[in-house]
């Protein structure tokens, strides 16, 4: 019976995902579309849980659904109004391209001989004791393929620079100082999110979690302080420490890479005895930088200078 229930749950999740995707693309109301999109991201996170990928599920729930949904809601007043009445040829072309892409991917996957493909799980678990952590995902991201993660961090920093160049002044946020319910909720949520961020950072060495998930939780705490109009909240003004913290994650990553190479090892080839400490140092710096990066991306531009003038 339990097997039938699990199969029924998987079927419901699959149908719900398709239904939410169709509803998101089919609605003409922007607010409804955004709410459906956030709901779609939450259901996709559950699908990743069912696929036994909890790290991906955490990233999808925090970044793919919550953060991306928040960014879209933030930018909604700046979007031009749309009645959804695109010309029929354009809609037909878009549908044909989507169906063609889906058919090509399905055909390509059907040709793959999954049984003959070598699995990387064996080599990862074989070398896991040398990685410094016991979570295979963290070992891959911060040790075995740390080059990729280093470049991803650099891309985030470049995104911030691009946003600040394109929008030299962040659109003003309307503080909710006079909302007693929001302020009461704030006193509970901000400490909880900070503790959650620390827990996810610590958890990443041996279970699903890590810097990206911890950074998303910490960013939510910063955004709550910003929405409350706290004068000294991170991101309230363009200050030297904010820029330094944005660069800190990439700087620490590069410093560790150069440091181990000076000792005769390859770039990002951690000594096994120090691997855990070095990974924890990188992840702690990344947590702060990712949190502030997501926060300034949510703002959509460079904060005002300390005296309130345009930067």
Average pLDDT over residues 49-67: 82
* Whole-model pTM over 0.75: yes
Specify the pLDDT at position 175.
65
Please tell me the total count of domains within the chain.
2
**HSE, side-chain direction, 13 A CA sphere, residue 295:** 29
91 within some domain: no
Same domain, 287 and 199: yes
With cut-offs at 50, 70 and 90, classify the pLDDT of residue 228: confident
24 within some domain: yes
d(CA 268, CA 311): 37
305 within some domain: yes
**HSE, side-chain direction, 13 A CA sphere, residue 60:** 17
DSSP structure class, residue 263: T
Same domain, 148 and 57: no
89 within some domain: no
Same domain, 167 and 298: yes
Same domain, 202 and 311: yes
- Three-state DSSP class for residue 238: strand
Mean residue pLDDT of the chain comes to: 83
| Residue where a domain terminates, one of 41, 58, 76 | 76
For residue 154, give both structure tokens.
């650099």
d(CA 71, CA 219): 13
115 within some domain: no
> Do 235 and 173 touch, CB atoms closer than 8 A?
no
Does pLDDT of 310 surpass 60? no
Helices (H) and strands (E) in the chain, counts: 12, 0
Same domain, 154 and 220: yes
Give residue-wise pLDDT tens across range 175-202. Answer: 666 667 777 788 888 899 899 999 999 9
d(CA 156, CA 294): 9
Specify the pLDDT at position 267.
80
Kindly report the three-state secondary structure assignment for every residue of 162-216.
HHHHHCCCCCCCCCCCCCHHHHHHHHHHHHHHHHHHHHHHHHCCCCCCCHHHHHH
Does pLDDT of 251 surpass 90? yes
Task: Look up the domain containing 29 and give its range.
Answer: 1-76
Which positions ≥6 away from 150 have C-beta within 8 Å?
Answer: 250, 253, 254, 257, 268
């Amino acid at each position: 019976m339990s097997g039938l229930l699990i199969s029924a749950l998987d079927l419901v999740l699959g149908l719900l995902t398709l239904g939410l995707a169709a509803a998101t693309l089919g609605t003409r109301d922007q607010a409804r579309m955004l709410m459906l999109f956030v709901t779609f991201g939450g259901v996709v996170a559950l699908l990743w849980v069912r696929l036994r990928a909890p790290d991906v599920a955490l990233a999808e729930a925090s970044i793919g659904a919550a953060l991306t949904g928040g960014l879209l809601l933030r930018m909604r007043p700046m979007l031009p109004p749309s009645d959804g009445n695109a010309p029929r040829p354009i809609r037909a072309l878009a549908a044909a391209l989507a169906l063609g892409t889906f058919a090509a991917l399905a055909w390509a996957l059907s040709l793959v001989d999954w049984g003959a493909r070598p699995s990387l799980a064996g080599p990862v678990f074989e070398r896991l004791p040398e990685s410094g952590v016991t979570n295979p995902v963290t070992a891959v991201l911060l040790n075995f393929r740390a080059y990729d993660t280093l470049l991803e961090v650099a891309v985030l920093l470049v995104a911030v620079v691009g946003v600040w160049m394109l929008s030299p002044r962040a659109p003003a946020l309307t503080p909710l100082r006079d909302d007693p319910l929001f302020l009461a909720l704030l006193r509970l949520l901000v400490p909880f999110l900070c503790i959650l961020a620390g827990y996810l950072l610590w958890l990443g060495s041996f279970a699903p979690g890590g810097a990206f998930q911890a950074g998303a939780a910490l960013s939510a705490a910063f955004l709550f302080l910003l929405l409350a109009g706290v004068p000294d909240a991170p991101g309230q003004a363009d200050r030297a420490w904010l820029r330094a913290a944005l660069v800190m994650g990439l700087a620490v990553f590069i410093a560790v890479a150069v440091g181990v190479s000076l000792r005769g090892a390859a770039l990002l080839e951690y000594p096994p005895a120090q691997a855990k400490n070095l990974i924890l140092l990188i992840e702690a710096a990344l947590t702060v930088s990712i949190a502030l990066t997501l926060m300034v991306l949510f703002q959509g531009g460079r904060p005002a200078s300390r005296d309130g003038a345009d930067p």
